[in-house]
Chains A and B, each alone.
Chain A
């Protein structure tokens, strides 16, 4: 692909099967306290 580079990312469609353990941090707990964003949370699933 001359004109397109695909950056390595987690495939969200596959995480339907592997995700949902709920061990990840609560979004607001870490720094912001006044807004919501989950994109910067780390996955903490130890069995993925």
Chain B
């Protein structure tokens, strides 16, 4: 499938099934748009008329461009056939490995954020802390089900995981011992609101956590509107200095400052820029997950504003990058040469199959967003998955599971989208959260535009980064020439 769009002065053509990205001029853009609709002669005549004031656009030139397009199609870089549908089913069916757990070490929180999808950390249930014994058993469950997979991922999540800090430290020590005995490699992450960060947390996390996710919504007035303690006081002034100290001490280890935007701050780029101005460079900002009648919920009228915001963000990021003060935005990180293989692109996040959430008392759910919903209880860490009917539902979630996605150019970038978002929007994990789709597609368009722009910037400096048909690309993750 071919997707064409114009953004920030660039004409971009994506061939979604090969992953090819082409930067074209206006004439080639039109040639490609017409190529499957009209005959060669009709295209030449139509474009000669359209570009009558352009002396460089001749019949010979247009025929050359048509030949180039034909060559790209023959080389599998335009209109590459979609042959992946059956692979999606097979891949998930043969893959029974669990490789990541979201460990809910604390179903309680020291903040009282009204938009929290986890209902102030309690997930519609009782407040609870995970015991070290439950944590150890969860790690054994993960090891037992990880097959030959080397890297195992564990996210300390909540609620607020620092409210069960000693258990986190003890469990990490346990896993380091188990690494020696099993040959596995644990990668830990921690998601925190920051309230309990101290020197001990900073030192330990910077030694042991491969990534930390630090929750900040942006500008003080935005952050403090929703991220308040139980007395109603905003948390911005208490957490920002801690985050700055934490990140400074972290060196080159991964972190994200992660925010949530709502109906109240549809100008969320100002919050991202505020994060950057605070000195943070690894940034993430997510649309709120809420019920439609929640005052925080994003509205239909918000959508065009949000789409504009993503474009504005991309352009500003390029500008800042050229000025030497760039930052990373999670959703614009796209690795065109070393990114995911087709299997990953089809199978998605792995919720309910290779990724699960564990509650403080050891119950298993498909992911953290389903915790507390009895329909989605999968089993527990002692007996394993017993609700195989629900797991099968998740096993069949992939880029080809939804008829609505059949003709969508973005399906190999989103893998069919988030099952939890689909469920909350439509009542079915195989539904389509169309609002999220619109945001996602815009983000991918922006992400690829940034890559194209960076590519052009490097080319302007004399680096031979763009390739043309007949050239070879040693950067390819498949390790061979593109031709």
Given the interface pairs A4-B68, A9-B19, A39-B447, the reply to whether A33 lies near B286 with Cβ below 8 Å is: yes
For window 209-266 of B, CB contacts with A under 8 Å fall at 211, 213, 256, 258, 260
Q: B418: which of A6, A14, A36, A43 is its contact (CB, 8 Å)?
A: A36
Do A6 and B77 touch (CB < 8 A)? yes
List chain A residues, Cβ under 8 A from B206. none
B391 lies within 8 A of chain A by Cβ: no
Interface residue SS majority, chain B? mixed
List chain B residues, Cβ under 8 A from A20. 91, 341, 343
Do A13 and B341 touch (CB < 8 A)? no
Number of interface residues of A (CB under 8 A): 44
Do A48 and B440 touch (CB < 8 A)? no
Do B344 and A13 touch (CB < 8 A)? no
List chain A residues, Cβ under 8 A from B444. 37, 39
Given the interface pairs A4-B68, A6-B467, A19-B341, the reply to whether A11 lies near B286 with Cβ below 8 Å is: no
Given the interface pairs A13-B17, A14-B478, the reply to whether A27 lies near B91 with Cβ below 8 Å is: no
List chain A residues, Cβ under 8 A from B59. none
Shortest C-beta distance, A28 to chain B (Å), equals 5
In angstroms, Cα B244 to Cα A34, docked, is: 24
In angstroms, Cα B189 to Cα A5, docked, is: 40
**Once A and B bind, how many residue pairs between them come within 8 Å at the CB atom?**
256
List chain A residues, Cβ under 8 A from B64. 2
Do A39 and B149 touch (CB < 8 A)? no
Shortest C-beta distance, B250 to chain A (Å), equals 15
List chain B residues, Cβ under 8 A from A29. 100, 102, 153, 155, 189, 355
Do B348 and A16 touch (CB < 8 A)? no
Q: B287: which of A30, A35, A38 is its contact (CB, 8 Å)?
A: A35
List chain B residues, Cβ under 8 A from A28. 102, 349, 351, 355, 367-368, 418
Do B349 and A38 touch (CB < 8 A)? yes
Do B337 and A6 touch (CB < 8 A)? no
Shortest C-beta distance, B288 to chain A (Å), equals 8
List chain B residues, Cβ under 8 A from A12. 17-19, 341-342, 345, 412
- In the complex, which residue of chain B has the Cβ closest to the Cβ of A41? B340
Given the interface pairs A23-B149, A26-B355, A36-B414, the reply to whether A9 lies near B336 with Cβ below 8 Å is: yes
In angstroms, Cα B119 to Cα A36, docked, is: 21
B residues near A (Cβ < 8 Å) are 17-25, 27-28, 31, 61, 64-65, 68-69, 72, 76-77, 80, 83-84, 87, 91, 95, 97, 99-100, 102, 117, 149-151, 153, 155, 157, 187, 189, 191, 211, 213, 256, 258, 260, 284, 286-287, 289, 330-345, 348-351, 354-355, 367-369, 412-421, 436, 440, 443-444, 447, 451-452, 455, 465-469, 473, 475-480, 482
What 4 pairs across the A-B complex have the smallest Cβ distances?
A: A19-B341, A3-B28, A15-B341, A36-B418
A residues near B (Cβ < 8 Å) are 1-16, 18-20, 22-45, 48
